[in-house]
A and B are shown apart, each in its own frame.
Chain A
Amino acid sequence: SQQGEEDPQALSIQEGENATMNCSYKTSINNLQWYRQNSGRGLVHLILIRSNEREKHSGRLRVTLDTSKKSSSLLITASRAADTASYFCAPVGGTSYGKLTFGQGTILTVHP
């Protein structure tokens, strides 16, 4: 199964700033999902973008997908202290279908 690689490993910003996290993967996908994890808790699904979509929005979240570069980005606008968490991407396709795997994630810290 394939896992995504998130970049940067850690990101520290001030409240109100935008946060951008990137994800790269290796093989073709059907969709790519982003998840968030607060410390010591389970992951929460944020958004799914399909391989034929280029951009998707959900509230303050904006996800882009570039299948030619095998990369995705997650933008959180007007960040809040409550956005402090780890963020993971999960590319899905081929042998990874139905069994999501995750990378190390990006640790986002938003300072009040």
Chain B
Amino acid sequence: ETGVTQTPRHLVMGMTNKKSLKCEQHLGHNAMYWYKQSAKKPLELMFVYNFKEQTENNSVPSRFSPECPNSSHLFLHLHTLQPEDSALYLCASSHNDGTELFFGSGTQLSVL
């Protein structure tokens, strides 16, 4: 148990659905991250938040919409996804210097 909790663990959705992924940490960290891990591809950094402010958007399509209401919670809102968006979505947190990332167990997303 890393102290970073992601829900749901698995999600199947149609291309017209709207769903949200949730990430929560109570480690006192100020930075939170979303990563995407597709089969046979390196982890892709999607978004970075520091003290609730977005500091990195790695050219992510607008069908992915992050939200960080406070330093402990991070959401990824999904709408009109494509089958190629099927992947493992990982949340992580750290102190703002990024010296050690703590990852959640991920949400395995399948888009039909």
Q: Do A and B bind each other?
A: yes
Which residues in A have some Cβ–Cβ distance to B below 8 Å? Answer: 1, 3, 31, 33, 35, 40-45, 48, 88, 92, 97-105
* Shortest beta-carbon distance from B68 to chain A in Å: 15
* Shortest beta-carbon distance from A67 to chain B in Å: 18
Q: Nearest CB to that of A103 among chain B residues?
A: B42
Which residues in B have some Cβ–Cβ distance to A below 8 Å? Answer: 2, 4, 6, 31, 33, 41-43, 45, 48, 50, 55-56, 88, 90, 92, 94, 96-106, 108
Q: Is the CB of A97 within 8 A of B98?
A: yes
- Complex formed: what's the CA distance from A64 to B2 in Å? 26
Q: Is the CB of A99 within 8 A of B2?
A: no
Given contacts A42-B90, A42-B92, A48-B100, contact A102 B42 (CB under 8 A): yes
Partner of B103, one of A1, A44, A98: A44
Q: Nearest CB to that of A38 among chain B residues?
A: B105
Contacts of A101 in B (CB 8 A): 42-43, 45
Contacts of B42 in A (CB 8 A): 3, 101-105
Given contacts A97-B98, A100-B101, contact A40 B43 (CB under 8 A): no
Q: Is the CB of B98 within 8 A of A99?
A: yes
Contacts of B106 in A (CB 8 A): 40-42
Q: Is the CB of B48 within 8 A of A42?
A: no
